[in-house]
Amino acid sequence: MNKIFTAALAAAALGFCLHGAYAATYAVEHNFCTKANCPDGSQPDAAPVADAAGNYYGTTVHGGSKDSGTIYRMSFNGTAWKSSVIHSFCLKTDCADGNAPQGGLVIDTAGNLYGMTTAGGYNDGGVVYELSPNGGKWTYTLLYKFCKKMSCPDGQHPYFASLSYQGAATGAAYDGTSPLYGTTQMGGANGGGVVFQLTPSGGAWTESTVHDFCALANCIDGGLPFAGVTVDGSGNIFGAATLGGVGIEEDCCGVLFELKHGAHWTYTSLHNFCSDAVGEVCLDGQGAIGAPMLDAMGNIYGTTGLGGSYNEGTVYKVVPNGDKSKLTTLYSFCPKTNCPDGALPWAGALAMDASGTCTGRPRKAVRAAARSSRSAAPS
């Protein structure tokens, strides 16, 4: 039962950093869209999460009873894995309950699931939801609808983003009562997206903006944060914006940032991608789309969808030290013909084991999408 599950439960090539690769056995445990109109879900974009009993939960962008996405469960019966849909989206008029969940899930100590949808809700701006086990059934609760006001100052469209919480970077389980944090790619005071906080109180959830991107001239604080944030044990937030910063040209090429927790949130740019460039090739990476990962020492690891020595993406490490932080490129993808090592780790979040080995998932087939993100959000 020692299986490695990925977003599609059938991973592309794996990339490794730090201490090299280890042997692994690959097996397909479920093929999505096995029936007409895909009632079992289609296009799982995010990695699943596990509960204490070893069940896995994830999302699909399409499929389900309304072809607007699903939440699925993978359970092991002793000999094989079984997939079941525990929720289909867009069951209410105008998809008031959400549509197209592109991000992953958070699970709390009681087994409740939390996630977001890219669309649906007010003005089709996306929602935050909770799904709670109730005997053999699951109860859906809408926690928040984005884009409640004109121009969406509270944020709009959390593309590929998953929620996070204080202590998530340490591997601690979510307690179900502390604030949740995330990003939206669009909306906010300047239209460049936001980092938001969702706080429970008395059975209700209140949303507040932690940071509005593009608050500085030429978006040097970043813009269009795709894939959520990571929160350390002290409540400090770390994330990456795909565009903006101080790169080789205006509106390029992304920022790694920290928001320090305190009486007021303090924003610091830890690294401007494309600070090290040869011509138009960003040797230190370009387009950091995946949420960063922290190790026990507080070092930050992540991937960029482009850049590096071969312009096929990178794995990087940053030792945080405010605006004097230093980035080291651990690996540049695609040094060989036909990219046997993989390429373009687009939205490629990393994981680290106890020995310090990192794993991730490059995606060669997304070059056009990664490059076009500079001018348009994905549909």
Q: What is the pLDDT of residues 261-301, one digit of tens each?
A: 988 999 999 999 999 988 888 999 999 888 899 998 999 99
Q: Say yes or no to pLDDT of 374 above 50.
A: no
Q: Which residues contact 20 (CB under 8 A, 6 or more apart)?
A: 357
Compute the distance between CA of residue 132 and CA of residue 12 in angstroms, rounded to an integer. 32
What average pLDDT does this structure show over 242-258? 85
Residue 134: both structure tokens together:
């109730």
> How many CB atoms sit inside 10 A of residue 357's CB?
15
Q: Say yes or no to pLDDT of 236 above 70.
A: yes
How many Cα atoms within 13 Å fall on the side-chain side of residue 52?
A: 8
Q: Which residues contact 95 (CB under 8 A, 6 or more apart)?
A: 66, 68, 89, 119, 120, 121, 124
**Assigned domain for 1 exists:** no
Q: What share of the chain is helix, strand, coil (3-state, %, to 5)?
A: 5, 35, 60
pLDDT at residue 11, as a whole number: 33
Q: How confident is the model at residue 17 (pLDDT cuts 50, 70, 90)?
A: very low
Summary mean pLDDT of the chain: 86
pLDDT at residue 273, as a whole number: 94
Indicate the Cα dihedral angle 53, 55, 58, 63, nearest 10°. -140
Q: Say yes or no to pLDDT of 356 above 70.
A: no
**Assigned domain for 115 exists:** no
**Cis amide leading into 339 (omega within 30):** no
Compute the distance between CA of residue 349 and CA of residue 346 in angstroms, rounded to an integer. 9
State pTM to two decimals: 0.87
> How many CB atoms sit inside 10 A of residue 177's CB?
11
Q: Give me the domain span that covers residue 361.
A: 146-372
Q: Say yes or no to pLDDT of 257 above 50.
A: yes
pLDDT at residue 25, as a whole number: 81
Short-list 321, 280, 316, CA closest to 297? 321
Q: How confident is the model at residue 56 (pLDDT cuts 50, 70, 90)?
A: very high
> How many CB atoms sit inside 10 A of residue 305's CB?
31
Q: Are 21 and 334 in contact (CB under 8 A)?
A: no
pLDDT at residue 7, as a whole number: 34
Strands 127-134 and 137-145: antiparallel
Short-list 292, 258, 254, 260, CA closest to 273? 254
How many independent structural domains does the chain possess?
A: 1
**Assigned domain for 241 exists:** yes
**Assigned domain for 218 exists:** yes
pLDDT at residue 135, as a whole number: 86
**Assigned domain for 346 exists:** yes
Compute the distance between CA of residue 107 and CA of residue 172 in angstroms, rounded to an integer. 11
Q: Say yes or no to pLDDT of 3 above 80.
A: no
**Assigned domain for 79 exists:** no
What average pLDDT does this structure show over 133-139? 92
